[in-house]
């Protein structure tokens, strides 16, 4: 995959040089709820992950990309649960707090949505978002996703059950 460029950001594949940055990000307990993480990652595990990150989406069923501003990593955007038979995939995004509310996330999403619809021939993208994550819900709706369902008490985190919304974007072109 070549570099995706927007007006203010670039999206690129993971590189071995991302190890320290990825280690810090993945081990930030503040994001574990949205990433569904239960334990820390070692550098060795992440090094192995980066070594295999070059696998194409048809093999790995996921594509994790780095969102950059002026070549500085500022977040990740993922296509996951890629299902080429049914032409669908999940979409997830994580932007470091200092880069939020500046339009970077919606720009990244628009680039990846276009890539998925055109190059991967995706018909639909979906996202699962905690009902409490209003920033993400607003972001996904801003780029065209619609709430299509509410999964009651779907997430168990820190002793509480939380509802999770299912959002969907159809490619009707």
Q: In b/e form, how buried is each residue of 134-170, taking b as 16+ CB within 10 angstroms?
A: eebbebbeebebeeeeeeeeebeeeeeebebbbbbbe
The DSSP line for 111-134 is HHHHHHHHHS--SEEEEEEETT-H
What DSSP element (H or E) covers 170?
Answer: strand 160-170
Q: How confident is the model at residue 37 (pLDDT cuts 50, 70, 90)?
A: low
As given in the structure block, the two tokens for residue 146 are: 């619609």
Can you tell me the mean pLDDT for 104-117?
96
Average pLDDT, the chain: 88
The model's pLDDT over 138-157, given as tens digits with 9 standing for 90+, comes to 999 999 999 999 999 998 88
Q: What is the pLDDT of residue 3?
A: 67
Q: Is pLDDT of 109 > 80?
A: yes
The model's pLDDT over 157-168, given as tens digits with 9 standing for 90+, comes to 889 999 999 999
As given in the structure block, the two tokens for residue 170 are: 């159809």
Mean pLDDT check: name the lowest of 48-57, 70-79, 114-123.
Answer: 48-57
Q: What percent of the chain is modeled with pLDDT above 70?
A: 91
The residue with greater pLDDT, 6 or 168, is 168
Q: What is the pLDDT of residue 122?
A: 96
Q: How confident is the model at residue 83 (pLDDT cuts 50, 70, 90)?
A: very high
Map out the domains of the chain with their CATH numbers: 4-127 (3.40.630.30)
Q: How confident is the model at residue 85 (pLDDT cuts 50, 70, 90)?
A: very high
Q: What is the pLDDT of residue 42?
A: 78
């Amino acid at each position: 995959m070549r570099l995706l460029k927007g007006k203010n950001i670039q999206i690129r594949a993971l590189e071995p040089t991302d190890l320290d940055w990825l280690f810090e990000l993945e081990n930030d307990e503040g994001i574990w709820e949205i990433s569904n993480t239960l334990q820390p990652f070692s550098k060795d595990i992440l090094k192995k992950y980066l070594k295999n990150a070059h696998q194409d989406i048809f093999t790995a069923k996921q594509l994790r990309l780095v969102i950059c501003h002026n070549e500085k990593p500022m977040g990740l955007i993922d296509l996951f649960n890629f299902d080429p038979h049914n032409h669908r995939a999940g979409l997830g995004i994580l932007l470091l707090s200092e880069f939020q509310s500046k339009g970077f996330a919606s720009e990244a999403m628009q680039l990846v949505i276009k890539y998925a619809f055109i190059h991967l021939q995706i018909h639909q993208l979906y996202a699962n978002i905690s009902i409490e994550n209003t920033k993400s819900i607003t972001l996904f709706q801003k780029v065209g996703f619609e709430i299509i369902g509410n999964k009651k008490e779907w997430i168990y985190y820190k002793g509480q059950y939380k509802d999770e919304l299912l959002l969907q974007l159809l490619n009707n072109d």
